[in-house]
Amino acid sequence: MNKKMDWSLVQSFLAVAETGSLSAAARALKATQPTIGRHIQTLEQDLGVTLFRRQARGMGLSPEGEALLDPARAMQDAANALSLSAAGEASELNGTVRITASLFVAHYILPPIIAELRQSAPEIDIDVVATDTSENLLFREADIAVRMYRPEQLDMVTLHLGDVELGLFGSVAYLKDVTLTNTLEDVLSTCAVVGYDRNEEIIRGFRSAGFPVTRDFFPTRCDNQTVYWELVRAGCGLGFGQRKVALADPELREVEMGIDIPTLEVWLTAHEALRHTPRVDAVWRVLAPRLARYCDRPNPSLAPPTA
């Protein structure tokens, strides 16, 4: 092969290798399936090898494709480092900052903070990436992340903003004719609880409290946190949620269980190459104190350590 390597072809190769199918790779790269297919075909022709073999479910790497996987990932790492370095040199305040947060945080907590950002720095565009998956800051999928756990990636600047209390809540209408004695046994024998579908977090929590429930214990289930909360508000049963959001809702009532519920840590994170660029710094300086106040921690440091 004498011509230069086309990076877009290598991106498509990596996406198919990591997702196992053309359609999944297309979704990951926000492209069409025929485009990804053409990229793979072109790369195979340029290299003179077969990179994938079709399987019953998706596409598997050929031996030649396996041999090229590490060099392709090295190219990806170099491209990401170049992008981060270039972005870190930006000296202007205007531009776009992408903020990623969980569905619940993005829905119930971030909107008034984003409105404040629009007032204080109207020259900065804000992209809100609402997802319960962990967007990769190394790959510039987001510039700042609001995490409910401490990030452990290298080269990240992190700030612990505080902890969020959780509680068990039900709608006022659902609990209207219910009398509880504030024990977990009473709650579980009297009320339905909205659970998760594939996420086993609630099941593990109940088991650690001495109640070996299974998925079938929950008559209504949903993994989407925003939909989950709306199911609770609609009266499908009791559900766990952030106390500050729930206590501000007149349609909800807290249910005491007689046990402690773990809190959620809240962390603000950015890649160290971007943290002090003007636009990221401006957004950070609004997010940090506002989210800290939400956690009842009024004065977080704006110069956090690197994780």
Q: Which structure tokens are listed for 224?
A: 């989407």
Per residue in 277-303, pLDDT (tens digit) is: 888 889 998 999 999 999 876 655 554
Per residue in 121-156, pLDDT (tens digit) is: 899 999 999 988 776 665 567 889 999 888 877 678
How high is the mean pLDDT of the chain?
84
Closest CA to 279 of 84, 126, 137, 105: 126
Alpha-carbon span 237 to 219, nearest angstrom: 9
Report the percentage of the chain scoring pLDDT > 90: 38
**pLDDT for position 298:** 60
Alpha-carbon span 254 to 136, nearest angstrom: 36
Per residue in 82-127, pLDDT (tens digit) is: 555 554 445 566 788 999 999 999 999 999 999 999 888 899 999 9
Instruction: Answer with the residue of higher pLDDT: 86 or 50.
Output: 50
Alpha-carbon span 113 to 119, nearest angstrom: 10
**pLDDT for position 139:** 55
Per residue in 208-244, pLDDT (tens digit) is: 888 889 999 999 999 999 999 999 999 999 999 999 9
Put residue 182 in one of left, alpha, beta given phi > 0 → left and psi -120 to 50 → alpha: left
Alpha-carbon span 247 to 214, nearest angstrom: 29
Instruction: Answer with the residue of higher pLDDT: 94 or 263.
Output: 263
Alpha-carbon span 73 to 150, nearest angstrom: 26
Q: Which structure tokens are listed for 237?
A: 């049963």
**pLDDT for position 99:** 93
pTM for the whole structure: 0.66
Instruction: Answer with the residue of higher pLDDT: 231 or 22.
Output: 231
Closest CA to 71 of 103, 49, 90, 104: 49
The three-state (H, E, C) secondary structure of 158-220, written as one string: EEEEEEECEEEEEECCCCCCCCCCCCHHHHHHHCCEEECCCCCHHHHHHHHCCCCCCHHHCCE
DSSP state of 49: S
Alpha-carbon span 224 to 169, nearest angstrom: 17
The kind and range of the H/E element at 118 are helix 110-120
Alpha-carbon span 253 to 44, nearest angstrom: 61
Put residue 171 in one of left, alpha, beta given phi > 0 → left and psi -120 to 50 → alpha: beta
